[in-house]
Chain A
Amino acid sequence: MNPGRTQQRIRWVTLAVLIGSAVLLTILDSTGTLDSVFGFLRDPMSFVSDWTSSQTDVVADVMTGPRNLEAALEEISRLETENETLRKENEELLEAAGENQILRELFNRAADTPEYRRITADVIGQDTNPALQSIIINKGYDHGVRVGMPVEAARGLVGQVYRVTNNASQVALLTETASAIPVRLGSTRATGILRGAGRGALPTIDWIDLQYDVQVGELVTTSGLGGKFPENLVIGRVIEVERNEAELFQRAVVQPAVDFNNVEIVFVVTEFNTVNTEIFNEAP
């Protein structure tokens, strides 16, 4: 037998087997068949990632900290001044919060804030594929996290739990193309669907009725419609409005409030009050 032809044949067989395996895996995984199988792999790797991530935090802090004594003294002086300013601001804010609390109670006693239950989680990794945007957190099924739960940071909504293993979860960011969130605009009260536009593009709100005069700078929050997200979670602000009178709806481009590159701690919202849509089921 010709050794050159044999080698060619081995090459093609290898290629066919590998491509076939990859396609089969892709199909099986997209149907959810392999979740438990790969959960066994993801769990120990998430554990190692958790440890690695905490060590990286330390290194990152050292790298971004002051590099010499003179810089450190300057930093201390600057921080002392900043501390004084912040203390003053804090007192003013406490006073305002107190006033706000009283006004709230007087003005609208009936208003009840939904009591969300949250789990705090550390971000231990990011998506390894440059075209996709997701984060990995160190809380999973054993901690009560389930697929579809909303995830927020201190400044606003981050996204939704996409995949869960026993001790870790993957969160699809709201900027991801697969994401669709019912939202409401702050002042016009117009509603629409916020869709992620993928890497390099800002999310947009589709299906906003033309009757609303949407303004740049309006706050965007979750509307709670659909029951997958609680109401009033901050998402960001409108930075551009695309309005064409010839179309039925207008669109708005949104700048998210959260800087997704620097998120370190998030909250998984495990329980929240859903918007009551029973009214639509009643006979007229």
Chain B
Amino acid sequence: MGNHIYIAIPIMALLAIVESSILSRFPIGGTVPQLMFLVALVWGMERGLEEGLVWAFIAGLFADLYSLAPMGISSLAFMAGVAGPLLLRQVLPPRRLLVAMLLAALGTIIYLTVYALGLRVFGFGISFGGLAELWPLIVLHTVLIVPLYLMTSALLRASQPRRVEF
């Protein structure tokens, strides 16, 4: 475990507040993007599966602080939504942005499916018909991953120490 956890906690706390209090006022296509999940996925794409999973776990905890769902269900769903696409990435062609978009769509589908299954276990009868209504979320995530991915890549490149040769 590196220092990245100390970055993940404040970032996810901030995103949870933004998502619950601000973005919910301005839905796009009737839905609000799950920024915490997208950031965890992008982090995993940049820094590897282990870090992506830790970020997804933390993201899920903050998501559940503002939700009816029992604490931990979102963590499970986010981790599944991050792990699935990242494991698949190894067999995909190295086209960064297109792959990122594909992984976002796939990750969102996995996350929603695991989430619905988890909720059903705990008595929230989410129907698969109701889940089908969330297709704009998949489209939204597929689009939003591009700026998030580019921004995170740029930030990580800028923050890494450069080799200086004399």
Q: Report which A residues bind B (CB closer than 8 A).
A: 10-11, 14-15, 18-19, 21-30, 34, 38, 41-42, 45, 48-49, 52-53, 56, 60, 124-132, 134, 136, 162-163, 170, 172, 176-178, 197-201, 261
Contacts and interface: CB of A to CB of B under 8 A. Distances in A.
B27 A56 contact: no
Nearest to A41: B65
Nearest to A48: B17
Nearest to B36: A128
B86 to A, nearest CB: 11
Given A14-B53, A178-B124, A24 B134 contact: no
29 contacts: A10-B50, A21-B57, A21-B72, A22-B73, A22-B75, A23-B72, A23-B76, A25-B75, A26-B70, A26-B76, A27-B72, A34-B71, A38-B71, A41-B65, A56-B21, A60-B25, A128-B66, A129-B74, A130-B31, A130-B134, A132-B69, A132-B119, A136-B66, A170-B66, A198-B124, A199-B130, A200-B129, A200-B130, A201-B129
Contacts of B126: 131-132, 177, 198-199
B63 interface: yes
A232 to B, nearest CB: 27
B16 interface: yes
Interface in B100-128: 112, 115-116, 118-119, 122-127
B67 A129 contact: yes
A128 to B, nearest CB: 4
B72 A130 contact: no
Nearest to B123: A178
A127 B34 CA distance: 11
Interface residues of B, number: 58
B41 interface: no
User: In the complex, which of the residues B18, B72, B73, B124 has the most CB atoms of chain A within 10 Å of its own CB atom?
Assistant: B72
Contacts of B112: 130-131
Interface of B: 13, 16-22, 24-27, 31-32, 34, 36, 49-50, 53-54, 57, 60-76, 79, 83, 112, 115-116, 118-119, 122-127, 129-134, 137
B72 A198 contact: no
Contact of B32 (A42, A48, A130, A163): A130
Contact of B72 (A25, A42, A60, A129): A25
Nearest to B119: A131
Given A60-B25, A130-B31, A198-B130, A29 B70 contact: yes
Contacts of A41: 65
A120 to B, nearest CB: 19
B50 A14 contact: yes
User: In the complex, which of the residues B73, B122, B123 has the most CB atoms of chain A within 10 Å of its own CB atom?
Assistant: B73
Nearest to B75: A22
A10 B54 CA distance: 13
Contacts of B32: 126, 130
Contacts of B31: 130
Given A10-B50, A26-B72, A127 B66 contact: yes
A18 B20 contact: no
Nearest to A168: B66
A129 B17 contact: no
Contact of A49 (B21, B61, B125): B21
B79 A22 contact: yes
Given A11-B49, A38-B71, A45-B13, A26 B118 contact: yes
A18 B21 contact: no
A109 B69 CA distance: 47
A219 to B, nearest CB: 27
Contact of A52 (B17, B74, B122, B130): B17
B166 to A, nearest CB: 32
Contacts of B125: 177, 198
A22 B57 contact: yes
Contacts of B76: 19, 22-23, 26
